[in-house]
């Protein structure tokens, strides 16, 4: 099983080899409400840990999407741009945001595991 980790900005990251797939968590989508717009980084661009790498908008407001790790964007998920409601339907599955080639695997170490994230999400939303 590939390892899945979570950031304090409510992104999830799944690593297979040196490629990471990144999206936003179920908890994030519940806080955002109905998502009506998504903007993704450009393929081939470089992103830096904790920097912005996209935008999601609900009917109410816009929110930045951050990347929890640094790397070069290798793929983006056009289907969530075409139909942003997919992000609400399957945020931690088919509605991933982008894939990147990891620059520094040790950046994964500071991220939370599932148990830690669930606790964090519960505490911060209370």
Partner 1 sequence: MNANKTQLYNLHKSKGARFVKFAGYEMPIQYSSGIITEHNLTRTKSGIFDVSHMGQLFLKGGDDLTEKLQHIFPTDLKTLNINQSKYSFLLKENGGIYDDLILTKLKDGFMIILNAACKHNDLKIIKSMLKDDSLKLNEDVSLIAIQGPEAKDILEKIIKNVSKLNFMYGNDFDFDNEKIFITRSGYTGEDGFEISISNQKVNNLVDELLDLGSNLIGLGARDTLRLEAGLCLYGHDINEETSPIEANLKWAISKNRVNENFPGAEKIKSQLNDGVKKLRVGIKPNSKIIAREFTKIFDKSNNEIGTITSGTFGPSVKAPIAMGYVSNEFSKNDTEIFLEVRGKKISANVCKLPFYKKNYVKGSINA
Query: Which residues in this chain contact partner 1 in the complex, by CB under 8 A?
Result: 33-34, 36-37, 39, 55, 57-62, 81, 85, 88
Nearer to partner 1, 39 or 112 (CB): 39
Nearer to partner 1, 82 or 123 (CB): 82
- State the virtual CA torsion across 73, 77, 80, 81 in degrees, nearest 10: 60
Q: How far is the CB of 89 from partner 1 (least distance, A)?
A: 12
Give dist(CA 100, CA 68) in Å, integer: 11
The DSSP element (H or E) to which 71 belongs, if any, is strand 71-76
Q: How far is the CB of 65 from partner 1 (least distance, A)?
A: 12
Q: How far is the CB of 55 from partner 1 (least distance, A)?
A: 7
Q: How far is the CB of 85 from partner 1 (least distance, A)?
A: 8
Residue in 74, 22, 81, 9 with CA at minimum distance from that of residue 46 = 74
Q: Within a 10 A sphere around the Cβ of 2, how many other Cβ atoms?
A: 11
Please provide residue 48's backbone torsions phi and psi, each rounded to the nearest 5 degrees.
-115, 140
Nearer to partner 1, 60 or 105 (CB): 60
Nearer to partner 1, 64 or 104 (CB): 64
């Amino acid at each position: 099983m590939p390892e899945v980790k979570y950031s304090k900005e409510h992104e999830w990251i799944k690593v297979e080899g040196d490629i990471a797939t990144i999206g936003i968590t179920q908890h994030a989508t519940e806080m955002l409400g109905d998502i009506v717009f998504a903007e993704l980084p450009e393929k081939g661009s470089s992103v830096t840990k904790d920097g912005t790498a996209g935008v999601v908008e609900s009917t109410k407001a816009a929110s930045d999407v951050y990347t929890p790790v640094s790397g070069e964007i290798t793929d983006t998920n056009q289907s969530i741009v075409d139909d942003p409601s997919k992000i609400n339907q399957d945020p931690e599955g088919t509605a991933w945001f982008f894939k990147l080639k990891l620059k520094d695997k040790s950046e994964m170490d500071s991220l939370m595991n599932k148990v830690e994230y669930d606790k964090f999400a519960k505490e911060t939303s209370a």
